């Protein structure tokens, strides 16, 4: 009798495995839901919607995008963490995905590594160091000299505590071993207004909008945090060129995730669709116009990148005494 039960158990397991393999092989057979942890209209939302539309063509099913921008993307992240690991519930996250657990600890409600299956890095949105056009500093070298020598701390603005601009500024302070005064605002645009008015000395700001303000002689780009110079600003040096290497790794990223334990075959299929979308010249052009740089790569490469990103910001946050408030 025991032998019969064992045989039946093996047969049932085999049948279940076959059905599971079939379910993965015909994935997706219904619409896929993609939750973006940021408000509509920004670069993260725009890039996500563009890629969702292109991926849907490859997958043969619609990808329905929903925005849930509350609590620094933590609401969306927790929701997808708890969703079924079947490939029909996806998350678009950014630098906050790693930073929130560092700043908030267990209150963030998720582990950025253990609770998710990385699918792929969609794009990065590089930052420029900008100051007012009439600022006394006409180059990055002049700004860094002021940071080193000025009696009162140089001020830098950002969209708020723990944001990409804040963290890039704290990294600069850490590298230079100097203290600067962080001035948080409610959004990057508000910070930029005070930079242009010379009420704040400088800031790290996304590419979008800088070209117009620079042409109008309201803003002066000093350096770009990318590996190579940007075509929009061919005369602006990279941070590495001015003696500050490593800032190209700080470019805010936009990535796609599924809940942990999503079948590897499903993750691979989603990654294939993402890479195919990013490989289209017209998609690359549109992302660049949104201020992004196409990323791509495999799930394993994205996972390794995320771990490096986490540890870098963990060190910067601890060194700078950065808090969530």
Q: How far apart are CA 48 and CA 44, in angstroms?
A: 6
The two three-digit tokens of residue 35, written as one number:
């939750």
- For residue 204, give the nearest of 216, 217, 195 by alpha carbon: 195
- For residue 114, give the nearest of 92, 97, 94, 90 by alpha carbon: 97
Q: What number of other Cβ atoms are within 10 A of residue 306's Cβ?
A: 21
Query: Please, what is the angle between helix 96-104 and helix 74-81, to 10°?
Result: 100
- For residue 200, give the nearest of 169, 225, 177 by alpha carbon: 169
Cα–Cα distances in Å, from 108 out to 104, 233, 260, 273, 307?
Answer: 5, 38, 17, 30, 17
Q: Which residues have a Cβ under 8 Å from the Cβ of 229 and sit 6 or more positions away? A: 236, 237, 238
3-class SS at 295? strand
Strand-pair category, 89-93 with 116-124: unpaired
Yes or no: is domain 17-125+252-320 CATH 3.40.228.10?
no
Torsion of CA 269, 70, 128, 323, to 10 degrees: -120
Q: How far apart are CA 282 and CA 262, in angstroms?
A: 31
Q: Are the beta carbons of 91 and 302 closer than 8 angstroms?
A: no
CATH superfamily of 127-250: Periplasmic binding protein-like II (3.40.190.10)
Please work out, in degrees rounded to the nearest 5, the angle formed at the alpha carbon of residue 55 by the alpha carbons of 54 and 57.
70
Per-residue pLDDT of the chain (325 residues; tens, 9 = 90+): 545 445 544 445 544 444 444 445 789 999 999 999 988 888 899 999 999 999 999 999 999 999 998 788 999 999 999 999 999 999 999 999 999 999 999 999 999 999 999 999 999 998 999 999 999 999 999 999 999 999 999 999 998 888 889 999 999 999 999 999 999 988 888 999 999 999 999 999 988 878 889 999 999 999 999 889 988 899 999 999 999 998 888 888 999 999 999 999 999 999 999 999 999 999 999 998 888 999 999 999 999 999 999 999 999 999 888 887 7
Q: How far apart are CA 214 and CA 212, in angstroms?
A: 5
- For residue 301, give the nearest of 120, 168, 134 by alpha carbon: 120
Domain 17-125+252-320 and domain 127-250, same fold? Reply is yes
- What are the residue ranges spanned by the domains of the chain? 17-125+252-320, 127-250
Stated pTM of the model: 0.84
């Amino acid at each position: 009798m025991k032998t019969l039960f064992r045989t039946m158990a093996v047969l049932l397991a085999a049948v279940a495995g076959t059905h599971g393999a079939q379910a993965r092989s015909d994935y997706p057979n219904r619409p896929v839901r993609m939750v973006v942890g940021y408000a509509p209209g920004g670069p993260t939302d725009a890039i996500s919607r563009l890629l969702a539309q292109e991926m849907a063509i490859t997958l043969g099913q619609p990808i329905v995008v929903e925005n849930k921008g509350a609590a620094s993307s933590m609401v969306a992240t927790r929701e997808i963490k708890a969703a079924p690991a079947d490939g029909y519930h996806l998350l678009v996250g950014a630098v906050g995905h790693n930073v929130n657990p560092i700043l908030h600890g267990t209150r963030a409600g998720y582990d950025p590594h253990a609770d998710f299956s990385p699918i792929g890095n969609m794009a990065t949105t590089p930052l420029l160091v900008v100051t007012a056009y009439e600022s006394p500093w006409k180059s990055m070298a002049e700004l860094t000299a002021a940071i080193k020598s000025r009696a009162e701390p140089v001020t830098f603005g950002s969209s708020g505590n723990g944001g990409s601009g804040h963290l890039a500024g704290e990294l600069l302070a850490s590298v230079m071993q100097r203290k600067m005064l962080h001035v948080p605002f409610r959004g990057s645009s508000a910070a930029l207004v005070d930079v242009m008015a010379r009420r704040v000395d400088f800031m790290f700001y996304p590419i979008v909008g800088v070209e117009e303000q620079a042409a109008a002689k309201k803003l002066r780009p000093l350096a770009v945090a990318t590996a190579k110079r940007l075509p929009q600003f061919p005369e602006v040096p990279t941070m590495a060129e001015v003696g500050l290497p490593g800032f190209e790794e700080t470019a805010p990223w936009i990535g796609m995730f599924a809940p942990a334990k999503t079948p590897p075959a499903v993750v691979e299929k989603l990654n294939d669709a993402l890479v195919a979308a990013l490989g289209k010249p017209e998609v690359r052009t549109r992302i660049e116009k949104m201020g992004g740089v196409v990323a791509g790569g495999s799930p394993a490469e994205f996972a390794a990148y995320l771990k490096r990103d986490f540890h870098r910001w963990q060190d910067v946050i601890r060194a700078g005494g950065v808090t969530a408030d």
